[in-house]
Amino acid sequence: MAEVEERIARIKNHKGVKGLLIVDENGKFLRSTMSSSGNDTAPKQYAQKVTELAKKARSVVRDIDPLNDLTFFRVRSKRQEIMVAPDKNLFLIVIQQPQEDNE
């Protein structure tokens, strides 16, 4: 378990990382470094919406080649990047500012 904590700390301390979520296959976040206090629903929204997107991406990859599977994907917008590393029943989601904005 200490190894997992070290990896989470290492990821969240990277330059530009705004948040890290560990989410189950139903979109429920199990661990978050993002604030969820008050009316801030961002962690829940990321968890639900990105999980839906990851499932669709996995389905596309498998439709193209049934012997293949999704291992990682990244979505970039003007304001942020969302990186997803899926596992069997979990998704690791990292939200960060694009590199140019960090410099």
Beta strands, E only, the chain: 17-24, 29-32, 73-76, 81-86, 90-96
State which residues form the domain around 23: 2-102
- pLDDT tens digit string along 32-47? 888 655 556 788 889 9
Please report, for the domain that includes residue 64, its CATH number: 3.30.450.30
- pLDDT tens digit string along 60-103? 999 999 999 999 999 999 999 999 999 888 999 999 988 765 55
Residue 17, classed as helix, strand or coil, is strand
Say how far apart CA 74 and CA 103 lie, in whole Å. 20
Quote the number of domains for the chain: 1
